[in-house]
Amino acid sequence: MARVLVCVQPARGHVGPTKPIVEALLVAGHDVTVVTGARYRDAFGEATVKLLPPEADFDETDLDGSIPGRAGKRGLKLARFELANFVGALPAQLSVLDLDVDVVLCDPLFMAGLALVRREHRPRVLVLGFLPFMPPVPSGPNSAFLKVLAPWVLGPAQRRAREVLGEDPGLLFADWPLRSDGVLQMTCPGFEYPRPNAPLHFIGPTTVSAANEHPLPPWWADLNGSRPIVHVTQGTVANDDLSRLVEPAIDALAGENVLVVVTTCGGTLRPGPLPDNVRVAGFLPYDDLLPRCAAVVTNGGYGGVNHALRYGVPLVVVGASEDKREVAARVTWSGAGIGRARASASPRTLRRDVRAVLDEPRYRDRAKELAAEMAAGPSMAEVVELITA
């Protein structure tokens, strides 16, 4: 039996892909303790749960209200603030970690990991790779934008890291996974830029989204295959303003011979009637929905994009917040769809992109190739063995 400590930020997109790993560890008889926020105290079944101190916790449904100083910031100013805030939580995170364990599974934004990998005597530290693998920053073949802005965006967080650690960390704060004992990257090699020296273990997407978690809506029978299904979503966090992507996509596809399936994920659509070819729900079970889809239009959450690729569904991605610029770039680079690193797109652009993804076989063919890569990856039992070996 291995003693495993799991450190995960209290956000749906982080908890969702972590839960199946925790469940598999428990089923295999390992001792698991999870450190996360109060909102997810009951999310991890039989695992022992320790809550983050209030100063390191937040409510993803009210980020401005639960994170002092966040309100009013947008765009790169918001990114700059949030990165420094992540690093600032490091001491509070460390205060609740019991490191008398064999292995630590750590969220890449759980900055206690930065302190752990620098210690000479420590347990194994593995990174939960449910975000694009970024280090060394800036990354990717299209990173000129980041190269120009990186010093301004990342500077406050790097200075905060030096203050918290009492010395220069010796690497950029966001690059700490390079010093870990491995990154459990939740995709396949074909969706990540080549990293010859990075400690990557490609395990494929782990999130489970079934009907027992999200009940089927009354209109579910309309998904009978008579028309191509296009799923549209802004994800689970960036849905405060559905005019960025969801509403333009509805307008774009109103006259098309497709069935548009929208999830609002807590957001609110503008008042007024919807086109006849649109169906709406708050949340839907992806493992039931995605196998029926011909395309997905999304703002580029890494987990959602890889969930679609698991089923060979090509994508149109429009997003620029958080890590979504990087995800959009990977969609284009991998050939599995069209990615636009911007906050929104016009109905005309979206109609053209969706039609291209539906009509040009190369996008679906490539998405199916990536699905086959994922299917050939390790089983969950093998992932457990990798963690506890």
Q: Which residues are registered as beta bridge partners of 6?
A: 34, 105
For 304, how many CA atoms within 13 A lie in the half-sphere containing its CB?
31
> pLDDT tens, 248-299?
999 999 989 999 999 998 888 999 999 999 999 999 999 999 999 999 999 9
Q: Put the strands of the sheet holding 293-298 in their side by side order.
A: 278-281, 259-263, 229-233, 293-298, 315-318, 337-340
Q: Which two tokens stand for residue 19?
A: 């839960």
The Cα 328–Cα 199 span in angstroms is 23
Residue 149 binned pLDDT confidence (cut-offs 50, 70, 90): low
Q: For residue 292, which of 246, 226, 373 has the smallest C-alpha distance?
A: 226
* Fold held by 218-375: Rossmann fold (3.40.50)
Residue 147 has pLDDT above 80, yes or no: no
Q: Mean pLDDT of all residues in the chain?
A: 91
Q: What is the pLDDT of residue 150?
A: 65
Q: What is the pLDDT of residue 211?
A: 66
DSSP 98-118: ---SSEEEE-TT-THHHHHTT
Most confident range, picked from 132-136, 236-240, 311-315: 311-315
Q: Which residues are registered as beta bridge partners of 26?
A: none
Tell me which residue has tokens 């679609």.
308
- Going by the DSSP 8-state scheme, the letter that residue 71 receives in this structure is T
Mean of the pLDDT values across residues 227-232? 98
* Cis amide bond preceding 136, omega within 30: yes
> pLDDT tens, 161-190?
888 888 888 778 888 999 999 999 999 999
Residue 148 has pLDDT above 80, yes or no: no
Using a pLDDT cut of 70, give the percent of the chain over it. Answer: 96
Mean of the pLDDT values across residues 353-382? 98
Residue 20 has pLDDT above 60, yes or no: yes
> pLDDT tens, 304-355?
999 999 999 999 999 987 788 899 999 999 999 999 999 899 999 999 999 9
The Cα 333–Cα 188 span in angstroms is 14
Q: What is the pLDDT of residue 323?
A: 83
The Cα 199–Cα 180 span in angstroms is 8
Residue 152 has pLDDT above 80, yes or no: no
- Taking the complete model, does pTM exceed 0.85, yes or no? yes
> pLDDT tens, 47-92?
999 999 999 999 988 888 898 999 988 877 888 898 888 899 999 9
- 34 three-class SS: strand
Tell me which residue has tokens 């490091």.
90
Residue 25 has pLDDT above 90, yes or no: yes
Residue 235 binned pLDDT confidence (cut-offs 50, 70, 90): confident
Q: Are strands 315-318 and 293-298 parallel, antiparallel or unpaired?
A: parallel
Q: For residue 97, which of 81, 66, 119 has the smallest C-alpha distance?
A: 119
Mean of the pLDDT values across residues 125-147? 72
Is the fold of 3-185 the same as that of 218-375? yes
The Cα 309–Cα 318 span in angstroms is 16
Q: Which two tokens stand for residue 324?
A: 């979504």
Q: What is the pLDDT of residue 250?
A: 97
The Cα 140–Cα 108 span in angstroms is 18
How big is the chain, counted in residues?
A: 389
Residue 112 has pLDDT above 90, yes or no: yes
Residue 6 has pLDDT above 60, yes or no: yes
Q: What is the pLDDT of residue 267?
A: 83
Cβ count within 10 A of residue 373: 17
Q: Which residues are registered as beta bridge partners of 338?
A: 316
Q: For residue 285, which of 204, 367, 217, 380 has the smallest C-alpha distance?
A: 217
- 237 three-class SS: coil
Which residues make Cβ contacts (< 8 Å) with residue 86, sequence separation at least 6? Answer: 109, 111, 157
Q: Which residue has the higher pLDDT, 163 or 145?
A: 163
CATH among 3.20.20.70, 3.30.470.10, 3.40.50.720, 3.40.50.2000 for 3-185: 3.40.50.2000
Q: 331, 337 in Cβ contact below 8 A? A: yes
Task: Kindly list the domain boundaries of the chain, sorted by start residue.
Answer: 3-185, 218-375
Q: What is the pLDDT of residue 157?
A: 84
